[in-house]
Amino acid sequence: MKRISSALPILALLVAFASPLDAQSNADVGEIDFPTSAVGEAQNLFVRGVTILHSFGWKQARTEFHAAQAADPDFAMAYWGESLAYNHPLNSDMDTTEPRKALERLAPTPEERLAKAPTAREKGFLSAVEILWGEGDSKDRRVGYMEAMRDLHEQYPEDDEVTAFYALSLLSASAATRDLTMRLNVRAGTLALNLFEDNPNHPGAAHYTIHSFDHPLMAPLALEAAHRFAEIASAVSHARHMPTHIFIQHGMWDLVSWNNQYAFDAAVDLWEPGDAVGDGVHALDWGHYGDLQMGDYAKARVWMQRLDELTTLNGYGTGGERGAAGIARANGAVSLLKARYIVDTEEWEIQPITAESKAHELLATGLSAYRTDDAATMAAAETALKVIADGDDDDYAKIMHKQVGALRHAAMGHADVAIGLMDEAVAIIQTIAPPRGSATPVKPLYELYGEMLLDLDRPAEAVAQFETSLLRMANRPRSLLGAARAHAMLGHHAMAAESYRQVAEVWKGRDIEGLHEAMSFLEETEEMKDAGGR
């Protein structure tokens, strides 16, 4: 495996590591059984493409599907597979442009395409994507696709690939409809878990289990799949990254860091000049968060340096709108990582407030101003956030506006106003799905609420906020530290010691003020025990 040295420029490394995707032809991508009407080379290439598709290795999968089409130009399922290899099914608008082009290369009309699928099962797969890439808005198409895959699953209940793609369609519909009941996720997860039990090397089974149970309360159901997935499909960067969705839910910060370094390595290995580097950006984003929680601030700065270098790559995107979107995403990530670094290290920094300032930047600056008694900057950050909150249909912007407003009023001694604003923010966040990944906002709402209540000398209320924060984001050290402080203020020495012990475990060996505070409290506690024993 190629490793990245933090001392070398990323651009030079990417060029040095650039290699054709064919070099990955013998890499591990998992095992599936997907018989079709094709035979020989076309079938083998198709199966490999689908296997990679289950891990969301979009470009790698398209390479295999194109090769299968070249081997058999009338092989309908090769075009079906390609159509699914352009969009993330869970967090995109499902742009129909490229998928329709792929299908139209098979034949110009849905009827003609369906005629090229020789079996009822293959016609079922093809009919379903005709709905997904047909007319109508994304939500309706995704729900219609799910319904078509449900019908196909009822026809072929023992077919592993029908089951796998039905599970994914449920997750896609859940995301499209914002199903906060998790009903569709639980159905998808049940299918995926059963498939994983039957075939622990199936990448889709492990992958969709993780997505189904990416939830603070349900994450334990996916822990085995998370440990397995990176081993199943090590050739795909996303497969190396994806287990961290569950590791984050458990607060396993060392694994969050390691797996995203592993995923970043794969993204770099696969990169070729002119490629997008989205997988690399995603991995370093999550790796940065994991290292910050672990207290490895030096490694967090390395991730930030890498991102700065990636954004300078010629041809970051793929050209046109997709390329522009890639550049925008990378540039947005730069400001996100900077804001997150300020918040999680508590190295307070006032950033310039401009019309281009992002909400997370303004939150970090507002919090920095609060901690450094800069009333004017707090007011400016609140005003700028109001403009964003009023102009965007973004619940998180509204939450961040209320967070900074609450801090400003707390600083002025307006406790009731501050608490009222935080309660309004809580009412908003309760309508949003629980955390899936790094903290959003960059300063978690309940954690900030608890810290503000400590500042207002209301430790009993603060305890409840920190407990809620830890239910949503397990083992987050700043929430543990806040809970320890609140319990200590209340005289709950045993509970304070337990929280401080967890802080000490997460930040072991780091030079962080909060760790020194924890160790001092724990040492005093031991001395008190020893004195009592004598």
Domain annotation covers residue 69: yes
Do both 211 and 75 map to the same domain? yes
In a domain, 449, yes or no: no
Q: Does 255 share its domain with 214?
A: no
pLDDT over 70 (residue 534): no
Specify whether 229 is located in the same domain as 159: yes
134-143, 152-161, 310-319, 517-526: lowest mean pLDDT where? 310-319
Q: Are residues 81 and 143 in the same domain?
A: yes
40 plus 149 within the same structural domain: yes
Domain boundary among 347, 372, 400: 347
Residues 182 and 57 in one domain: yes
Say yes or no to pLDDT of 279 above 70: yes
Residues 309 and 188 occupy one common structural domain: no
Q: What is the residue-averaged pLDDT of the chain? A: 91
3-class DSSP state of 399: helix
b/e map of 351-361 (b: 16 or more CB within 10 Å)? bebeeebbbbb
By the 8 A CB rule, do 116 and 74 touch? yes
Q: Do 75 and 215 belong together in one domain?
A: yes
> Is the same domain home to 330 and 309?
yes
- Domain assignment of residue 308, yes or no: yes
Q: Is 348 within 8 Å of 376 (Cβ atoms)?
A: no
Assigned domain for 187 exists:
yes
In a domain, 21, yes or no: no
Residue 273's pLDDT band, with cuts at 50, 70 and 90, is low
| Pairwise CA distance, residues 280 & 270, whole Å | 10
Give the structural domain span for 382: 351-443
Q: 507: closest CA among 467, 485, 475? A: 475
Alpha helices in 54-159 (DSSP H): 58-71, 76-83, 97-106, 110-115, 120-132, 138-155
Reported as a single tens digit per residue, the pLDDT across 348-362 is 999 999 999 999 999
Domain shared by 75 and 151, yes or no: yes
The verdict on 71 and 197 lying in the same domain is yes
Global confidence as pTM: 0.89
Residues 223 and 150 in one domain: yes
In this prediction, residue 21 carries a pLDDT of 38
CATH number at residue 482: 1.25.40
Q: Does residue 454 fall inside a structural domain?
A: no
Q: Domain for residue 20, yes or no?
A: no
Question: pLDDT by residue (tens digit) across 423-475?
Answer: 999 999 999 989 999 999 999 999 999 999 999 999 999 999 999 999 999 99
Task: Return the ∠ at Cα 306 (arms to 302 and 307), rounded to 5°.
Answer: 120
For residue 532, the model assigns a pLDDT of 65
Q: Express each pLDDT in 366-415 by its tens digit.
A: 999 999 999 999 999 999 999 999 998 899 999 999 999 999 999 999 99
What is the total count of domains within the chain?
4
